[in-house]
Amino acid sequence: MNSLLLSINWNPNPELFNLFGISIRYYGLLWAVGIFFAYIIVHYQYRDKKIDEKKFDPLFFYCFFGILIGARLGHCLFYDPGQYLTSGKGFVEMLLPIKFLPGGGWKFTGYEGLASHGGTLGLMIALWLYCRKTKLHYMDVVDMIAVATPVTACFIRLANLMNSEIIGKPTDVPWAFVFERVDMLPRHPGQLYEAIAYLILFFIMFYLYKNYSKKLHRGFFFGLCLAYIFTFRFFIEFVKENQEAFEDHMMFNMGQWLSVPFIIIGIYFMFFYDRKKVAKK
């Protein structure tokens, strides 16, 4: 009872407003705000490096659709393939932001499941296509994107907080949240932990970019972004509830297993990528 009194009751309406029958939700809005800030930060870097403005113009569309498609497919294929790949309706729901109703018909719901690991893979593929078109060096582009990525990641986790999803495990810490849409147990606000961690990473990345970008090797920012985000993601999972029931019987949950390759890739680009290129010369 004492822990309940010390906790923060959390039950915001996930819908900001309704426009002509279309629900405008905090989730989608915060996603958009995060991508907008990333757009501003990357645009600043393009100007700072004196890259042709015409090459910057299509970047937003590649990133937006790469992240969205990758995150959606990642959620459906990694976490719930049984629902989305076993029926025609499930396959349509995977691709379109709708839900078929039991009595017939459908309703617009927005994408109700997005996975960060899938979004990262989708972004990497989209940037490869972008670099093929613009003839920019792939690692130069992903380094710039990496500086801005933590801002977007921060807003995505705030979006999860407004949706009362990806909740933490029960706890008696005084800053616990009671997610009333779920139950009345005080829980770790895992979404808030991640949002704060990613915001800190952004300040670290921007400081390094402003003061040491000419001294750091190509690929360093990309590696730091992956290693930091997914290492934190691996450990924060220990205080978060599993997203799917099948994870309850696993040593590590799906998010942790999927984080390990990204951590290894990040460490490689931070400490070994440039040395390999130098050795070849």
Q: Which tens digits make up the pLDDT trace of 160-209?
A: 999 998 899 999 999 999 999 999 999 999 999 999 999 999 999 999 99
Instruction: Using only the alpha carbons of the chain, give its radius of gyration.
Output: 20
At 279, the pLDDT band (50, 70, 90 cuts) reads very low
From 21-35, 201-215, 240-254, the region with the lowest mean pLDDT: 240-254
pTM, entire model: 0.81
Looking at residue 162, its amino acid is M
d(CA 172, CA 157): 22
Residue 208, phi-psi category: left (phi > 0), alpha (psi -120 to 50), beta (remainder): alpha
Q: Tokens 């959390």, residue?
A: 10
Find the angle CA(36)-CA(97)-CA(229) to the nearest 5 degrees.
Answer: 45
DSSP bridge partners of 174: none
pLDDT, residue 230, reads 94
pLDDT, residue 1, reads 42
Question: In terms of C-beta density within 10 A (0-12 exposed, 13-18 middle, 19 or more buried), how is residue 186 classed?
Answer: buried
d(CA 213, CA 218): 9
**Residue 233 known to bind ligand:** no
List for the chain the helix, strand, coil content (%; round to 5): 65, 10, 25
Distance of CA 71 to the CA centre of its chain: 8
For residue 35, CA distances in Å to 128, 147, 166, 195 come to 19, 13, 21, 15
Q: Any residues with CB less than 8 A from the CB of 215 and at least 6 apart, and which?
A: none
Query: Domain-by-domain residue ranges, the chain?
Result: 1-49+136-274, 51-134
Q: Tokens 């959606």, residue?
A: 72
At 43, the pLDDT band (50, 70, 90 cuts) reads very high
| Closest alpha carbon to 227 in 258, 255, 197, 268 | 268
Q: Where are the beta strands (DSSP E) in the chain?
A: 8-10, 15-19, 22-25, 98-100, 106-108, 177-179, 186-187
Mean pLDDT of 99-105: 76
